[in-house]
Amino acid sequence: MNRIIFYFQLAFEGVTSNTLRTILTALGIVFGVAAVIAMLAIGNGAKQSILEQMKLIGTNNIVIKSVILEEGEGGEETANTGQQNPTNGETGKRPWSPGLTLEDVKAIKKVLPNIDRISPEIVLPTNLVQASKTRKAKVVGVSNAFFELNNLTLADGKMFHHKHMEGGKPVCIIGQNVRKRFFPETDPIGQYIKCGTAWMKIIGLLEKRTASKKSLENLGIRDYNSDVYIPVKTSLLRIKDRARVTNNDIQRNERDDDEVEDNYHQLDKMVIRVTDSDQLKVSAEVIAKMLKRRHKDLVDFEVEVPELLLEQQQKTQDMFNLVLAVIAGISLLVGGIGIMNIMLASVLERIKEIGIRRSLGATVTDIQLQFLFEAVIISLLGGLLGIVIGVLSANFIAESAEIPTVVSFASIILSFGVAAVVGLVFGFFPARKAARQDPIKALRTD
């Protein structure tokens, strides 16, 4: 151990005797290690973001969203085929379709045997009123499957009972932001809140869901903390059923009233979870064909498979990380070659020193370890500086480019280990050459 410490001291003296040359030699290692740190930080950040989004949408889910057809627009055009229904286009009238309804939900359950859960959603903007306080919000008609599919749990209270679901009872579950606005210091369970023109009894309070704004925007989902959730039947019976045509609607349509409701869909969205992830794509295709047939060959809906989209995003990110890894590897290779070249030049400059040490009793192993330790020290110093630059770069990328980055302790250890290995590998040949110098010839060298 004393000899190893002596070798390190000797090598450190050799490295610090020419500081500028040492810094220039280590630059390749510095940038290589910094690239590795930044690459792993971007990769870890992307992975964490994907996992966060996966948690928000759940797994094995198919999302069907309603699309409002404009006047003069054909269903085939909505399906991005580039074709337009000539009859509808000539008359300028919007093609008729029943839209997404609860009947579609029943039909999907009946046709597809691999359905695990299905959650219809009705989103209605409204005003919330409670004890002289008011706030604009969204009332969402859902079933209990909604909370399971979106990984939402209750902080207090209870879920909807089947009597609530079938009977259209005036009950609701609120998010944490609603509780914060209307019940900051009291227990909301058992109290009432007015949603539009209907009073709802609060029976549950959601656990706060923390998610980045970017993740919510990417997935096209709302902030679950700010909504009020009521049973689907309650939404249709007590607030609004867009699929129901009233006499007032007919009279407004005859007058060409601008206030006619454009959204003819009873449901805004439905989320379907299949039992097997391998059947996601096939199930989505079957559902799309079935809905098109039920909607009079009009494609007034969108079918998305978020998990497949996230997998594609992950593949793209992996390819990006591979490119970064290649760049980092090239930087480390160039840094290693630089160390080897400088160490070879150092051997030629210090031939006389080698001869004197050999004449004083230093063995071949002593000389070899001295130069090898010098190469390792240069690599380690470059690795330390590279780690600092890499961490700063990762933070800079996160702030400037708004790309999530996560610097892990494992990536720092890996980078430091890579730097040490580079020093050993590329320092071995110069050290071996120094150790093989003939001491007699070395002493004669000026």
Query: Amino acid identity, residue 323?
Result: V
- 2-16 and 364-400 helices, crossing angle to 10°: 60
Q: Which of 65-79, 249-263, 386-400 is the least confident region?
A: 249-263
pLDDT at position 83 over 60: no
Q: What percent of the chain has pLDDT over 90?
A: 23
Sign of CA dihedral 370, 372, 373, 377: positive
b (16+ CB within 10 A) / e for 164-199: bbeebbbbbbbbbbbbebbbeeeebbeeebebbebe
> Per-domain residue ranges for the chain?
2-52+312-444, 98-299
| pLDDT of 160 | 92
Q: What pTM was estimated for this model as a whole?
A: 0.61
Nearest to 63 by CA among 265, 283, 278: 283
| pLDDT of 142 | 93
Q: How confident is the model at residue 313 (pLDDT cuts 50, 70, 90)?
A: low
Over residues 170-191, mean pLDDT = 93
Question: How far is residue 221's CA from residue 410's CA, in Å, rounded to a whole number?
Answer: 34
Digit-coded pLDDT (tens) for 295-312: 888 888 998 887 666 676
Digit-coded pLDDT (tens) for 271-303: 998 888 778 888 989 999 999 999 888 888 998
Are the C-beta atoms of residues 342 and 26 closer than 8 Å to each other?
no
Cα three-residue angle 335-336-340, rounded to 5 degrees: 120
Digit-coded pLDDT (tens) for 33-51: 888 888 888 877 877 776 6
Cα→Cα distances 313→64, 220, 298, Å: 20, 16, 30
Q: Calculate the average pLDDT of the chain.
A: 79
pLDDT at position 322 over 50: yes
Over residues 326-340, mean pLDDT = 78
Are the C-beta atoms of residues 313 and 155 closer than 8 Å to each other?
no
b (16+ CB within 10 A) / e for 364-379: eebbbbbbbbbbbbbb
pLDDT at position 102 over 60: yes
